[in-house]
Amino acid sequence: MNTKLLNRPLYENVAERLREQIFAHELAPGSWLDEQKLAMEFGISRTPMREAIKVLASEGLVTTKMNRGAYVTEVDRRDLEQIFTILSLLEGQAAKETATKASEDQLTQLDNLHHRLEKAAADRDIEQFFEINVRFHDLIQDIAGNKWMNGVIEDLRKVLKLQRRDSLSRSGRLQSSLLEHREILQAILKRDPAAAESAMRKHLARGLEATK
């Protein structure tokens, strides 16, 4: 892969390129980020590279170690359990708020996304299912409208991408996930905040179980 950038980027652009390499596991979990080497590959000075690494560290994708530099974060079982615990609380709250705040148009958008989830599941198209799944969750968070909560959820979701295993490919998980989304949607359409929160939290608990 040619990582040289045609123009000198801002550190945000560099961070995005590094982020893509981390998610693609071109920079594997636990690997050392050689600041000088990466800067040379990108055709930039070390200053924007250093700032980009700081951005990724703030997102949890990179871990800095005293006198040893920066490394791509490794996620273990304890990390997963802690992340899913926080996501369960926050996304449960988002679903609860969505059940009371959503306009009729937004409910229609959620319903339409779920119909697309149904089709992707029927086609056994895991990649498409995952993409629509992300949009479904994002829309619920957008409707809830808490930018601080959404920022934390976004960063935690990025860290989860460090896990290479795809739980949706496991036997029965795709159909189970679909049923869980259906339960979330039905609670929101009924404008039942308690049921929406419960369904979302149950969905995330089962998502954690599927990573074993």
pLDDT of residue 1: 47
> Do 109 and 163 share a domain, yes or no?
yes
> Does residue 2 sit within a domain?
no
Rounded-to-integer distance, Cα 20 and Cα 40, Å: 18
3-state helix, strand, coil in the chain (%, to 5): 70, 5, 25
| Residues 6 or more apart whose Cβ sits within 8 Å of residue 1 | 26
Q: Are residues 86 and 170 in the same domain?
A: yes
Pair (104, 205) in one structural domain: yes
Work out how many domains the chain is built from and give that number: 2
Q: Which two tokens stand for residue 183?
A: 């339960």
Claim to verify: residue 190 and residue 163 sit in the same structural domain = yes
Phi/psi at 72 (nearest 5 deg)? -65, 130
CATH number, domain of 100, equals 1.20.120.530
How many CB atoms are closer than 10 A to CB 172? Answer: 8
Residue 61 CB partners (closer than 8 Å, separation 6+): 19, 22, 72, 73, 158, 159, 162
Q: 85 and 58 in one domain?
A: no
Mark whether 106 and 51 lie in a shared domain: no
Contacts of 107 (CB under 8 A, 6+ apart): 188, 189
CATH number at residue 48: 1.10.10.10
pLDDT in tens, the chain (212 residues): 455 444 544 688 999 999 999 988 899 899 999 999 999 999 999 999 999 999 999 999 999 988 889 999 998 899 999 999 999 999 999 999 999 999 999 999 999 999 999 999 999 888 899 899 999 999 999 999 999 999 999 989 988 888 755 666 666 788 899 999 999 999 999 999 999 999 999 999 999 988 87
- The CA-CA-CA angle for residues 206, 139, 212, to 5°, reads 20
For residue 65, what are the domain limits? 11-72
Question: Token digits for 112?
Answer: 């339409």
